[in-house]
Amino acid sequence: MSGKAVFRGLATGVLTGAALLGGCAPVPVAEPAPEVARGVPGFDTRDYPGDDAMGLWLEHSPYRWVGFYLPAPCFRGTGWEGRRSELESMGWGLAVLFVGEQDWAEILPEDQVIADPTLPRCTRANLHGDRGSEHGVEAVEVAAAEGFPPGTAIYLNVERVERVSSDLRDYVRAWAAAVVDDGRYTPALYAHAWNAEELLPILSDELAGGPGAGEPGAGEPRLWVATSRDFALHRAPDESGFPAAHIWQGVFDVRETWGGVTLRIDANVARTAAPSR
């Protein structure tokens, strides 16, 4: 689910051949002005790249934030655990992800990106409300163990499905409700554009009934939307077609090299340099 040069450029004047040959005054031809950055670039990758690699990418790449994977039912990696403080000390902003249960009956093989169905806890049999509640509590506890401050948004990773089933709805609703009821963190959603319009109102409903209901912004969930349509690294998340988008993921599974380090990543833009704050 580019480079600093993306945000640089010189609008220079050049002399046309006709002007030089004819002895006429030089005619400046303006190059297109560079695009103004309307979002903050970030990336996510399944495996933790290592402290040295993260330091070099912060220095040489255009990316200012990174996806941070919490321990979760459908995520095998452990490299991100215990790295919050080090990453923030380097200067990285973080977008916190929790890869919960998936609806494997509705996921096409090519859309199985991050979630790992070989894990014992990652099975469609767990896709129901009771398990959603348990995993919402789990997401809060592992985020707290990592030291994330109160108010941090935790994005529930829902991979693309062909159809949003009632079981998936129940799971997402119960997960969000458990996070809201705990009160320390804010439930948010990572979803493909194909499913976002159906899933986002579930979070809206839970947030609207939680602490702070009736206050400005209550019931307005954060969305991390995945779609490559019209994506560019200089664009803003709401240009994805989803006004609620705080993050737009638009380049998938590519290799990029910065500071001599090559990583396989997904590229994103966010509203801020710390998308979970």
- Is there a domain that residue 66 lies in? yes
- Is there a domain that residue 13 lies in? yes
Of 26-30, 109-113, 262-266, 273-277, least confident by mean pLDDT is 26-30
Q: Is 210's pLDDT higher than 70?
A: no
Higher pLDDT, 11 or 160: 160
- Is there a domain that residue 277 lies in? no
Q: Do 21 and 48 lie in a common domain?
A: no
Structure token digits, residue 53: 């690699």
CA angle 258, 262, 264 (to 5 degrees): 115
pTM of the predicted structure, to 2 decimals: 0.86
- Residue 110 sits in a domain whose CATH number is 3.20.20.80
Q: Do 28 and 165 lie in a common domain?
A: no
What local confidence, expressed as pLDDT, does residue 271 receive?
98
Q: Do 61 and 192 lie in a common domain?
A: yes
CA–CA gap between residue 119 and residue 132 (Å, rounded): 17
Q: Tens digit of pLDDT for each residue in 79-135? A: 999 999 999 999 999 999 999 999 999 999 878 788 999 999 999 999 999 999 999
Q: Do 43 and 133 lie in a common domain?
A: yes
Q: Are 63 and 126 in contact (CB under 8 A)?
A: no
Q: Do 29 and 112 lie in a common domain?
A: no
- Is there a domain that residue 94 lies in? yes
- Is there a domain that residue 275 lies in? no
What local confidence, expressed as pLDDT, does residue 111 receive?
82
Other Cβ atoms less than 10 A from the Cβ of 132: the count is 26
Q: Do 9 and 131 lie in a common domain?
A: no
Q: Do 30 and 165 lie in a common domain?
A: no
What local confidence, expressed as pLDDT, does residue 22 receive?
46
Q: Do 139 and 234 lie in a common domain?
A: yes
Whole-number Cα distances in Å, 100 to 75, 93, 210, 256: 8, 23, 21, 28
What local confidence, expressed as pLDDT, does residue 35 receive?
81
Q: Do 50 and 71 lie in a common domain?
A: yes
Q: Tens digit of pLDDT for each residue in 212-248? A: 555 545 568 999 999 999 999 999 999 999 999 999 9
Res. 53 pLDDT band, cuts 50 70 90:
very high
Q: How many residues does the chain have?
A: 277
Whole-number Cα distances in Å, 252 to 45, 54, 168, 203: 10, 19, 24, 25
- Is there a domain that residue 25 lies in? yes
> How many domains, in total, are found in the chain?
2
What local confidence, expressed as pLDDT, does residue 110 receive?
79
- Among 79, 66, 84, 70, smallest CA distance to 274 is for 66
Element (H, E) at 65: strand 65-69
Q: Do 28 and 65 lie in a common domain?
A: no
Res. 28 pLDDT band, cuts 50 70 90:
low
What local confidence, expressed as pLDDT, does residue 43 receive?
98
Q: Are 80 and 69 in contact (CB under 8 A)?
A: yes
What local confidence, expressed as pLDDT, does residue 26 receive?
62
Res. 11 pLDDT band, cuts 50 70 90:
very low
Q: Do 6 and 94 lie in a common domain?
A: no
Q: Is 75's pLDDT higher than 70?
A: yes
- Is there a domain that residue 217 lies in? yes
Q: Which CB contacts under 8 angstroms, 24+ apart, belong to 29-34?
A: 33/9, 34/7, 34/8, 34/9
Q: Is 29's pLDDT higher than 90?
A: no
Q: Is 7's pLDDT higher than 60?
A: no
Q: Do 15 and 101 lie in a common domain?
A: no
Domain housing 111: 38-270
Single-letter residue type at 43: F
What local confidence, expressed as pLDDT, does residue 212 receive?
56
Whole-number Cα distances in Å, 184 to 83, 136, 143, 169: 20, 12, 10, 23
- Is there a domain that residue 56 lies in? yes
Average confidence (pLDDT) over 50-70: 98
